[in-house]
Amino acid sequence: MLHGHGNDGYRYDREIWADFSTNVWVGGEPKGLKEHLCERWKTVNAYPEVLGESLGVKIAQHHQLVPSQVLVANGTTESIYLLAQLYTRKKTCILTPSFSEYEDACRAFDHQLTFLPWPEGQDPLQLDSDLVFICNPNNPTGRTLSQLEVSIRNNPRCLFAIDEAFTEFTLFNESAVAWMSRYPNLLVMRSMTKAYAIPGLRLGYLLGQPSLIQALCQIKQPWTINALALEAGTFIFENYDSVQPPIAELLGHKEQFVHQLKALGCLDVLESCTHFFLCKTHGPDARVLKTFLLDEYGILIRDAHNFRGLTPQHFRVATLMPDQNGLLITALKEWKRRYC
C-alpha cells in the first residue's frame, strides 16, 4: 500500500494545524540529536556501513544479545518485506485489524494467507502456519495480546514475527525480547522512528536467532540505512535513558482526551493501552469526517476504513498536547451540531 497510511498531510494543499493521523511521538526528536547530526554531516560524503554493523553492536549490547542476533533495517517496513521474501510461498497468518504492510508484503511474495481476528479472550493461539505477524501493541487498536508467550511455546513450527514498533508507548506490555533465549521460533521487529520522532530517517532493526538473521542478511540489499540514520541510532543508544519520551505523562493526557471525546456523544472510543486509539462515528463515515476536519479546521485524522476488519465509520486518533487535543474537541462539537 503506497498510499493510505496516516501522516499524509503532504498530499493536501493547506496548512495542517494539528495532525492526529500519525502515531509518532508528538514531542519531536530527542534533545541534542539535531546538533549531533549536523556535527556528523560529513559522514554523507562516504558510503555508510553495508549492514549498519556498528549500530548493530550497540543494539545487541542494549538488549543483552550478541551482534549475530541483530539486523539493522530501513525502518520496520524493510524488516517486514525481508521476512516475507524469506518465507516466499509459505503459509502465513496475520492477526487483524493490523498494519497493512504485512499483507502487502506477503502478497508480493505469493504467501498463502489466512487472517484471524484479534483474540478477545485469554485463550492462546492455535496456528497452522509457517509464519505469523503480530503487532504488539497493535496498530491501529493500541491493544496488547495476552497469552503471547504461551502461543509461541504451543506453536513451535510457526515463526512468530512480533512487531513492537509501539512498545515504548505503553506501560502495560512485556517485550518479547525477554523470551528470545527460550524460543527459536521468535523474531522481534523494532522501530526507531516512532518514539524518537524520526520517521523521515527510516530506521529499525530485527532481533532473532543467529541462523535466521544470517538468512535475512543473505537477501538484504546493501546500504539501505543511510549514514545520518546510523548516526541517529548511535546517538539514541548512547543516550538511551535520557531520550525516552515521557510516556506516563502522555498517557495521562490520553485519558483526559478520551474522557472529553466520550462526553461528546457522537462517537464511540475503543479501549487502548497506548497513546493512540480507534474511534467510530455515529453519523457519516470517517472519510466525510476527515474532509470536514481538514477543510474547516486544518486538522488531520487517520481514516481507518482500509484496515482489514474495520468499517467506514472507524478512524484512528493519536494523543497530542492538551491544547491541540482541545482543537479536535472543538471541531467535533461543530461536527455533532451539523451531522449527528
Looking up residue 258, the CATH number of its domain turns out to be: 3.90.1150.10
**Predicted local distance difference test score (pLDDT) of residue 11:** 67
Sites in the chain below the pLDDT cut of 50: 2-4
Percentage of the chain exceeding pLDDT 90: 91
**Predicted local distance difference test score (pLDDT) of residue 286:** 95
**Predicted local distance difference test score (pLDDT) of residue 6:** 52
* 317 and 183 part of one domain: no
240-296 pLDDT per residue, tens: 999 999 999 999 999 999 999 999 999 999 999 999 999 999 989 999 999 999 999
Q: Give the CATH number, domain containing residue 86.
A: 3.40.640.10
Structural domain contains residue 2: no
* 211 and 275 part of one domain: no
* 55 and 144 part of one domain: yes
Structural domain contains residue 1: no
* 17 and 105 part of one domain: no
As a whole number of Å, the CA-based R_g of the chain is: 20
**Predicted local distance difference test score (pLDDT) of residue 93:** 98
* 152 and 109 part of one domain: yes
* 224 and 320 part of one domain: no
* Overall number of domains in the chain: 2
Q: Show which of 198, 218, 242 is a domain's final residue.
A: 242
Structural domain contains residue 335: yes
Measured CA to CA, the distance from residue 6 to residue 92 in angstroms comes to 25
* 258 and 125 part of one domain: no
Q: Show which of 199, 226, 242 is a domain's final residue.
A: 242
Looking at residue 227, its amino acid is A
**Predicted local distance difference test score (pLDDT) of residue 36:** 98
Q: Show which of 225, 242, 259 is a domain's final residue.
A: 242
Residue 37 lies in domain = 33-242
* 135 and 225 part of one domain: yes
Q: What is the pTM of this model?
A: 0.94
Q: What cell does 300 get?
A: 488531520
* 206 and 85 part of one domain: yes
